Amino acid sequence: MTLVIRLIAKYALWVYILCGLGMVFYLRAALAARREGTQAMFSLERESATGRVYRSSGMILLLLLIVIGVYGLSYYIEVPLLNTDPFESPPPLIETKTPTKQPKSTTASEPTPAPEPTPTRRPIRTPVALPTTVQGTPTVQVLPADCPRPNVQVLQPGQNQVIDAGVQVRGTASKELFDRYEFKFQSRDKPDEWHWIETFKAPVENGDLGFWHTSHLPPGNYRFMLIVIDERGNSEECTVPVVIRH
For the stretch 82-99, pLDDT in tens is 444 445 555 555 555 565
Query: Which pLDDT band holds residue 174 (cuts at 50, 70, 90)?
Result: very high
pLDDT reported for residue 114? 64
For residues 211-237, average pLDDT: 95
Q: Name residue 89's amino acid.
A: S
For the stretch 96-146, pLDDT in tens is 556 555 555 544 455 666 666 666 666 566 665 555 554 554 555 778 888
For the stretch 21-32, pLDDT in tens is 988 998 988 888
* Residue of 222, 199, 221, 219 whose CA lies nearest to 210: 199
Full DSSP string of 93-141: PPP-PPP-PPPPP-SSPPPPPPPPPPPPPPPPPPPPPPP-PPPPPPPPP
pLDDT reported for residue 38? 82
